Amino acid sequence: MDTKQKSSPLSHWRTELISSAIVLLCLFLAVYFPAQGTLQLFSNTLFFLFLLPVLYIKIILKQNLTDFGFNTLNISAGLLWSLAMLASSFLIIFFLMHFYNFEQKYFLPTYLAQNFWVFLFYELVLANFLFFIQGFFFRGFVLFSFAKKLNFFAPLIQFLIFTLFLAATNSINWKAAPSIILSLTGGIVAYKSKSFIYPYLTSLLFMIILDAYIIYLFK
Amino acid sequence: MNILQKSLAASLISLIIFSSGAPAIHADSFSLDPISAAVTDKAMGDIMDYFGINQQELKNNIQTMNVSRQKKIPPQVSITFTPASPVPGEKITATATPTYFMNDPSQIYYTWLLKRSGKDGGAEDYKVAAMRIIASGDFEYEQESYADDGEKSAGDSDTGDSDGYYAFFGGQDQKGKKSRCFANDISSGNDYEITCKHAFPTSSPGEVGDGEFGLEEEKFWHTDPKSNDTANSGTMDEAAVVGLGKTTFSWIYAPGDKVGVIVEGISVDPTSYADSSYKTMWAMPKNTEDNCNNVDLDSLPENRTDTPIITKIDYTDTDTDGYEESYTKVTATTSYSYATGDYIVKTGESPGIQILKTTKTTVTTQDCILPPASLLEPSPVEICGDATTPAHWPISSSTSNPRFVTASDGSLDSSTDFNNCLEDNLVDPAQGTSNKKLDVSLSYLPDTPMNDPAGDNADELVIQSSILNAGNKDFIYYDWSVSLGSSISADDWIALDANTKKQTGLDQTAGIGLKSLKMNLNFDKPEAFYAKITLRAKETSFENLQKEGVATIIVPIYNAQNKIEVFPTNVSADLDITLDVAPEAKRCDSGIEKTLCPIVKNEIVGLKTDIDPDDYNLVWTLNGEPLSSANPNAATAYFPVLQEKGTKYTVNLNASHKTSQEKITLTKTFIVADPEIHISAVNESAANSTCLPILLGYYVDPINKNPNPAPASDDSLWPDYSEDSFEALQGKVIKLKTTSNALSPSQPSWIIDGVIVTTDNAASLGATLNADGTLSFSADKSTGATYSVGVETLYTQTNLVKKALYGKWGIPLTDFYEKRISKSITIKVADQIDVSSALAARTQDKKILASLFSSIPAYVNFLFRIILTLILILFSTGLLFSFFPKQNQA
C-alpha cells in the first residue's frame, strides 16, 4: 500500500521562505544597522551581505558554498556566457549613450581622471570589494537560493530584488545604471555557469573599461 | 813761666798720660753723688711737668718701645680651598695668601707639597709631586721620548727652549741685593739669622733655580723640552718648578689628600746691615702652631770647634776637718757664640752699623783629679762635690761686651729644619669643612598659607628644598617629617598620623628625588597653628662617602573659615552699585561653580566677605591689581566683566588683623562663560519633593568629602544628577524654577509640551505662572508619560548696568549684546520618585558594565553589537527551521 504524506506548501517552500526572510533581513540591516564612519559602514556591508549569508548557508542550511556559486567549475560555460553578456552590457551602454547621453550623466570622481594610480586603486580595491560582495549576495546567495525551485526565474528575481533595493534606498540614478545592467546580465551568466565568480569578474572588467572610456571621452 | 804754672802744666800732662790707660768709662759706672743726682732729677721732673709730659706714661711708652721689636708679626701664609668642601674625583684648588711679606705675591716663591692619600713618603716626595703638576700642566709627558737629538747632550743646560731660571733669595725682586736670611723665634719674638737656603725640591737631577734646566730636569719634572712654558702659565718651566708667583695649586682630589706650601719672600722688617737687604724669611701654613722656624736654644750643638781651654788650679784645703786635701782643679771652658739678633745702635755712629750682642755661655766642666795613689776618706765624689752643690769649686760664667761678630752659625741649617716640620704643616682640605655635610635649606609657598577644614579656601602648602653641595640631586634620599604645634616654641609638636597624611595628600614622605613636599591644608583645626617640617637628606657619593644634612622650617598656618560670597549687583539711577545680598540671590555656592564661578560678559559681579572690617584691614585685588571699585577696607566689592568667554578672573582678599599677627587670604576664581539658564525643581532636595532629577550615577571626588554619603561609608562618592531628565509623582503639583549665571531683565517664558505658557492659557494647561517666575503644574498624565518643559529668555544687560559700564569703565554702547538662551527638560511621570537608594544599588551593579562599555573603543563596541546581531539572527533562523517540519519524500 502506497502512503503519501501530503506536505504543506509551507514545508515545501520552507527553505526558500526562510532564505527570503534572511535576504530581506540582510538588506535591511546592511542599510539600517547603526554605524558611524566609513570603517563601520564597510563592516556593515561585509557582515550582513557576506558573513551572515555564509554562516546561514554553512550552519543553518548545512550546505556547501559551491552550491551557491562559490566555484569555478564550468569554465567553458562561464567564459562563453561572460563574453556574451559583456557584449550585451556594452551594447546596452551604447544605446544609453546614443539615446540618452549616458556619458553626460554618468559622473566619475575627478581624482580618478587625474591620477592613474588612484583610478587603479578605486577600480581594483574599492569597486572590486563592492562588486564581490554584491556578486556573492545577489548572484550567489539570492539567485541560488531560488534557482532550485524557480529555475530560470531566479536571475530575474535577484535582478528585481536588487533594483527594488536600490529604489528603497533612493539609489536609482544614472550612476547606478551600470550596476543595474550588470545585475541582469550577470545573473544570466551566474545561472548558466552555476557560479557568481564569472559575473563578478565580468562586472569588474566592464566597469574598468567603461570608466576608462568615460575618462577618455572627457580628457 | 813761674813755678806754679809749670807745676799745673806738669800735673795736667801727667793726668792726660795716665788717664789714657784708664779703662773705658761705662755709663753705668758713672755716678753722681747723691746731692747732684737729686738736683738733676728734680730739674728733669720740672722740665717734664712744664711741657705736660706724664712721666709714668712716658715710662710706659718707652717700656713698650723697648720690646716692640719682639712684638712684630713674622711673615705668614694661609691656604684656602675651592670648593670649600672638596668632592672626590673633582678638581680642587688651593690658594696661598701670604701676609707680612714685603714683596708682591707674584714675586714670591711658593714651594707646594702634595701628600697623596695612601702614599707615605717624605717632604721631598711631597714637593716633587706638587711642583710636577704645576710645572707640567696637562702635558702628556708619557708620549715625550725626551731623547737627545744629538745636538745637545744629556745634562746640557740648554735644551733650546731657554726655560732656565735663577732663583734669588727673598724673591724675584731681590735680584742684586745681598741675601740675608732669618728665622723667627715665636717665643721670644726675635729674628735669628740663618744660612740662606731655598726650600725648593732637591731630588731633581739638577739644582732647582740655578738658571739651568736641561733635558734630564725636563724629564724629571715632566715638562716639554720643546717649550719654555709647558703649563702655559706665563712662567718659564724652571720658574714654575721654583714656584715663582704660584699662588694657586690645583689637583684632582681624593679623600685623604693633604697639601702644604712653603713661601719664601722678604719680611717687612729690613735687616740691620748697611745695605739694601731685607730679611729673607719663610712661612708655612701652621707657623704659629709648630714653631719650626724657631731656633731651639736648648738643642744647640754642644760640640764646638773651639778648643776648650784647660786650666789647672792647685788647691789646698785649709779647713779644719782634720783632713788636708790637695787637689788639682781642672777647668775646661768652652764657649758658644751665636747671633741673637739683638742690636744696639751706637750713639754717634752712622745708622746702619750693626753691633750684635752675643751671649757667651761658658760651660765649665770640672775634673776632680786626686793625688796619685791617694785614697782618702770621705769618697772622692763627696770631696769633689757636684754641679749643683759645688762644695769647693765655683762655677764661673761671663758675658762678653758687645762687639762685632759675624753672622750665622754653620751648624744651624734652616732648610733642614723646614723639612723636619713640613709634615706637621700639611693641611687636609676636608678637615673642618662641610664635605660630609649637605647644605640643606627649605622654603615654602604660599607666603600666607591658609587652612580650611572645609577645603574651600584650603591652600596647597609647598615646601621646596635646596641642597647646594650635593653630587646628584636626583639620587639624594629625602626623608620628610611633618608635625603640628600651637606655637613656634611649642614643646608639643604632634607628628601626623597615617590617616591625616592621606587626607592632606602626603602619600609619600620618604624616597629618592622627593625635592619638594606638597600638603593640602584642610586640617581639622579651628585656629591658626604652626607646621614644623623637617627634612633629612642623605647622599652616598664617591668612594662611599656618606653625606647628610638636616633642615627644619616652621610655617605659620592661618585659618580660613571665612569666605568670599558672590552676589548680583544693582545699579541705581545715580549709578551707585550695590550688592543684592538676599540669600536666594547668592551665586556659585555649590557644586563645581563653587570652585570656578561662571560669569557673563558685561555683568557687574558683587563680592562680599564675612570678615569683619572693624577687626581686620582688608584689601581686594583682581588678577593681582587692587580692585579699584572697592571702598577702602570694605567687606564688599564689585567688578565688571569685560573680557571674552574663557577668560579667568582671580579675586584675592587679603586681611590682616589690626592687633595681632593673624592673616587671612581668600581667593575666588571666575570664568567668563556664555549666559545659560537651567531648570530645577523647587525644593528638590526636600524629603517630600514631588519632582526630582534622575540620578545618573556617582562620581569620585577624592578631595571634597560627601557629608551624606550614599552608598554608605564611601564619602568620596558624590551623586551625579541629570540636568535634563526628571521624574515627578503622578497627580502631584510640580513646581519648577530657573537659575541662570546671568541676571536678565526679561522674565523667562515657560513652554510645556511645545506650548508657550501665558497667563491666558495657563489655566487651560493646568499650569500657574507664579509671581516669582516659577512654574507650577499638575502631573496629570499617566504613569510613564513624559512632559517636555522648556524655558527661554532673552539675556541682555539692563539699561542702568549699561550706563554704569559706559560711565565708569568706558564700555561703548556697541559692545552690549543680546542673547537668546533656553533650556528644556523631560519630566517622566512615575508612581514613586524616591528611588535614589534603589538607583544607587542598581548603579552599583551596572557600574562595572557601564564603565567597561565606556572605556572600550567605539569600533570594538560596534563589532560586539554586530556579532550579537548575527548570532541572534542565526539562532532565530535555526529555531524557525525546527518549527517547520522537514519535507518527507516518498
Cα-flanking dihedrals φ and ψ of residue B64, to 5°? -65, -40
Q: Hey, what amino acid is at A154?
A: A
Would B306 be classed as within a structural domain?
yes
How many Cβ atoms sit within 10 Å of the Cβ of residue B92?
22
Q: Indicate if the pLDDT at residue B387 is higher than 70.
A: no
Q: DSSP assignment, residue B47?
A: H
Q: Could you tell me if B98 and B115 lie in one domain?
A: yes
A81 and A192 in contact (C-beta within 8 Å)? yes
Q: Which three cell numbers stand for residue B779?
A: 502631573
Question: Chain B residues with CB inside 8 Å of A33's CB?
Answer: 866, 869
Same domain, yes or no: B551 and B588: no
- Out of B19, B46, B66, a domain closes at B66
In this structure, is residue B753 part of a structural domain?
yes
When scoring B859, B866, B875 by the number of chain A Cβ atoms within 10 A, the one with the most, hence best to mutate, is: B866
Q: Does residue B11 fall inside a structural domain?
A: no
Nearest-by-Cβ selection for B859 from A21, A39, A60: A39
Most confident of A14-28, B778-792, B799-813, B843-857: A14-28
Give the span between the Cα atoms of B474 and B763, in whole angstroms. Answer: 75
Q: Which three cell numbers stand for residue B350?
A: 752712622
| β partners of residue B605 | B568, B639
Judged by a CB distance cut-off of 8 A, whether residue A55 touches chain B is yes
* Residue pLDDT, tens place only, B440-497: 899 998 888 888 877 767 888 999 999 877 767 777 889 999 998 887 776 778 888 8
For residue A39, the chain B residue with the least C-alpha distance is: B859
Show which of B287, B319, B345 is a domain's final residue.
B287
- Tens of pLDDT along B568-616? 888 888 888 888 888 877 888 777 777 788 888 888 899 998 888 888 8
Residue A70, C-alpha cell as written in the block: 562559490
Tell me what the mean pLDDT of segment B389-417 comes to.
37
Continuous H helices in B20-68: 34-50, 55-67
Residue A5 sits at the chain B interface (C-beta within 8 Å): yes
Residues 25-54 (A) with a CB less than 8 A from some CB of B: 25, 29, 33-36, 39-40, 43-44, 47, 51-52
pLDDT bracket for residue B108 (50, 70, 90): very high
Which of A12, A24, A45, A55 best probes binding to B when mutated, by most B CB atoms within 10 angstroms?
A: A55
Phi-psi region of B234 (alpha: psi -120 to 50; beta: other; left: phi over 0): left
pLDDT of the residue at A138 = 93
Total domain count, chain B: 6
Q: Which tens digit of pLDDT belongs to each residue from A84-103?
A: 999 999 999 999 988 888 88
Q: What are the residues facing B854 on neighbouring strands?
A: none
Q: Are residues B715 and B830 in the same domain?
A: yes
Asked if the Cβ–Cβ distance from B884 to A11 is below 8 Å, we say: yes
- In a domain, residue B82? The reply is yes
Which sign, positive or negative, has the C-alpha torsion A39, A42, A44, A47?
Answer: negative
User: Following DSSP, what letter does each residue of B362-430 receive, concatenated?
Assistant: EEEEEEEEPPTT---SS-HHHHH--SSS-SS-------PPP-------TT--HHHHHHHHHGGG-B-TT
Q: What cell was used for B576? A: 551707585
Distance from C-alpha of B46 to C-alpha of B57, rounded to nearest angstrom = 16
Nearest beta carbon to residue A47 from set B866, B874, B887: B866
The residue among B719 and A25 whose pLDDT is bigger is A25
Identify whether the C-beta of residue B324 lies closer than 8 Å to the C-beta of residue B362: no
| B648, B641 contact by CB (below 8 A) | no
Q: Is A22 on the interface with B (CB under 8 A)?
A: yes
Q: Which of A40-54, A167-181, B438-452, B570-584 has the highest mean pLDDT?
A: A40-54
B183 lies in a domain? Answer: no
B228 and B241 share a domain?
yes
Q: What's the CA dihedral at B149, B153, B156, B159 to 10 degrees?
A: 0
- Do B202 and B124 meet the contact criterion of CB atoms below 8 Å apart? yes
Q: Of A116 and B412, which is predicted with more confidence? A: A116
- Return the pLDDT at A209: 92
A60–B885 CB contact, under 8 Å: no
pLDDT tens sequence across B342-373:
333 333 333 333 333 344 444 444 445 544 43
- Sort residue B322 into left (φ over 0), alpha (ψ -120 to 50) or beta: left
CA distance B635 to chain A (A): 56
The CA distance from A190 to the nearest CA of chain B, in Å, is 26
The residue among A38, A85, A18, A77 whose CA lies nearest residue A195 is A77
B548 versus B292: which is more confidently predicted?
Answer: B548
A43 to B884: CB separation less than 8 angstroms, yes or no: no
Interface test with B, best of A22, A24, A42 (most B CBs within 10 A): A22
Partners of residue A10 in chain B, C-beta under 8 Å:
884
Residues B601 and B809: beta-carbon distance below 8 Å: no
B601 with B694, same domain?
no
Domain region containing B52:
34-66
Chain A residues with CB inside 8 Å of B885's CB? Answer: 11
Contacts of B862 in chain A (CB under 8 A): 34-36, 40, 43
Suggest the residue from A47, A54, A141 to mutate for an interface test with chain B (most B CBs closer than 10 A).
A47
> Which of helix, strand or coil describes residue B543?
helix
Closest residue to B870, CB basis, from A5, A10, A52 = A52
Residue B120 lies in a domain: yes
Query: Per residue in B640-668, pLDDT tens?
Result: 888 888 899 999 888 888 887 777 888 88
pLDDT band at B304 (very low <50, low <70, confident <90, very high): very low
Alpha-carbon gap: A212 to the closest alpha carbon of chain B (Å): 36
DSSP state of B20: T
Cβ A14–B884 below 8 Å, yes or no?
Answer: yes
- By percentage, how much of chain A surpasses pLDDT 90? 46
B810 and B684, same domain (yes or no): yes
Give the C-alpha separation, B665 to B667, whole Å.
7
Q: What confidence category does residue B106 fall into, taking pLDDT thresholds of 50, 70 and 90?
A: very high
A141 touches chain B (CB under 8 A): no
Three-class SS of B449-506: CEECCCCCCCCEEEEEEEECCCCCHHHCEEEEEEEEECCCCCCCCEECCHHHHHHCCC
> Residues of chain A with pLDDT > 70: what percent?
93
Task: Using CA coordinates, name the residue in chain A closest to B874.
Answer: A56
Collapsing DSSP states into helix, strand and coil, what is residue B42? helix
B476, B350: one domain? no
- Taking CB atoms and an 8 Å cutoff, what residues of chain A touch B878? 59-60
Residues of chain B with C-beta less than 8 angstroms from the C-beta of A6: none
pLDDT reading at A29 higher than 70:
yes
B879: pLDDT strictly greater than 80: yes
Q: What percent of chain B has pLDDT over 70?
A: 71
Is A43 close to B866, i.e. CB distance below 8 A? yes
CATH code at position B651: 2.60.40.10
Interface check for A73 against chain B (CB to CB < 8 A): the answer is no
Selecting from B859, B865, B887 the residue whose C-beta is nearest the C-beta of A7 gives B887
The residues near B782 (Cβ < 8 Å, ≥ 6 apart) are: B730, B829
Helix, strand, or coil (residue B290)? coil
Q: Do B735 and B827 belong to one domain? A: yes
Q: Are residues B234 and B252 in the same domain?
A: yes
Query: Is B85 in the same domain as B210?
Result: yes
Which of B868, B881, B884, B886 is most worth mutating to test chain A (most A CB atoms within 10 A of its CB)?
B884
What pLDDT was estimated at residue B372? 43
Nearest CA among A134, A132, A110, A112 for reference residue A121:
A112
Q: Is A63 on the interface with B (CB under 8 A)?
A: no
Pick from B801, B799, B795, B800: nearest CA to B817: B795
Task: Report d(CA B600, CA B673) in Å as an integer.
Answer: 5
Q: At what angle do helices B34-50 and B55-67 cross, to 10 degrees?
A: 100
Between CA B141 and CA B223 the distance in angstroms is 7
**Is the domain of B353 the same as that of B272?**
no
The answer on B704 and B657 residing in a single domain is no
Which H or E element spans position B341? strand B339-343
What value of ipTM does the predicted structure carry? Answer: 0.86
Q: Does A131 touch chain B (CB under 8 A)?
A: no
With H, G, I as helix, E, B as strand and everything else as coil, classify residue B669. Answer: strand
pLDDT one-digit tens code per residue, A61-87 = 899 899 899 988 889 999 999 999 999
Candidates A52, A62, A63: best to mutate against B (most CBs of B within 10 A) is A52
Q: Across the interface, which of A4, A47, A56 has its CB nearest the CB of B877?
A: A56
Residue B870 lies in a domain: no
Distance between CA atoms of residues B458 and B443, nearest Å = 19
Q: Which of B50-54, B306-310, B739-743 has the highest mean pLDDT?
A: B50-54
B44-64 average pLDDT score: 84
Mean pLDDT computed over every residue of chain B: 75
Whether A46 and A33 have beta carbons less than 8 Å apart is answered as no
pLDDT of res. B33: 52
B848 within a domain of the structure (yes/no)? no
pLDDT tens string B784-839: 888 889 888 888 777 788 888 888 888 877 777 777 888 888 888 888 775 454 34
CB–CB contact A11 B878 (8 Å): no
